[in-house]
A = this chain, B = another copy of it.
Amino acid sequence: MKGFKFAGIHAGIKNNGQKDLGLIYCDKPAVAAALFTQNQVVAAPVILGKEKIKKRLCRAVLANSGNANCFTGQNGIKDAMACSKIVGNNLDIPEELVFMSSTGVIGAPLPMDKFESGIPDLITKLSEDNLDDFAEAILTTDTKKKIINKTFVINDEKFSITGIAKGSGMIRPDMATMLAFICTDINISAGDLKTSLKKACEKSFHRITIDGDTSTNDTLMALASGTSKACAKDFKSIKIFQKAIDKVCFELARMIVKDGEGATKLVQIIVKGAKTKEDALKACETIAHSNLVKTAIYGEDPNWGRITAAAGRSGAMVVPEKMDLFFDDQPLVLKGSWLGREAEKKTAQIMKKTEIDITLDLNLGKESDRFLFCDFSEEYIKINAEYRS
Partner of A310, one of B174, B213, B310, B313: B213
Nearest residue (CB) in B for A314 is: B40
Q: Is A103 an interface residue (CB 8 A)?
A: no
A361: shortest Cβ distance to chain B, in Å?
15
A76: shortest Cβ distance to chain B, in Å?
11
Check A384 against B296 for contact (C-beta < 8 Å): yes
* Bound-state Cα–Cα, A378 to B291, Å: 13
State whether A305 and B174 are in contact (beta carbons under 8 Å apart), knowing that A299-B385, A313-B40, A338-B107 are contacts in the complex. Answer: yes
Q: Residues of B contacting A215 with CB < 8 Å?
A: 309
State whether A338 and B305 are in contact (beta carbons under 8 Å apart), knowing that A212-B290, A377-B381, A380-B295 are contacts in the complex. Answer: no
A173-195 CB mask vs B (1 if < 8 Å, else 0) is: 01100000000000000000000
Q: Is A357 an interface residue (CB 8 A)?
A: no
Q: Residues of B contacting A304 with CB < 8 Å?
A: 107
* Bound-state Cα–Cα, A381 to B263, Å: 13
Check A313 against B378 for contact (C-beta < 8 Å): no
Q: Residues of B contacting A336 with CB < 8 Å?
A: 71, 73
* Bound-state Cα–Cα, A321 to B71, Å: 8
State whether A312 and B380 are in contact (beta carbons under 8 Å apart), knowing that A170-B306, A213-B290, A305-B106 are contacts in the complex. Answer: no
A330: shortest Cβ distance to chain B, in Å?
17
A44: shortest Cβ distance to chain B, in Å?
11
Q: Is A211 an interface residue (CB 8 A)?
A: yes
* Bound-state Cα–Cα, A317 to B40, Å: 8
Check A305 against B175 for contact (C-beta < 8 Å): yes
Q: Is A112 an interface residue (CB 8 A)?
A: no
Check A41 against B320 for contact (C-beta < 8 Å): yes
A306: shortest Cβ distance to chain B, in Å?
6
State whether A381 and B295 are in contact (beta carbons under 8 Å apart), knowing that A311-B41, A320-B40 are contacts in the complex. Answer: yes
Q: Residues of B contacting A387 with CB < 8 Å?
A: 299, 301
Q: Is A148 an interface residue (CB 8 A)?
A: no
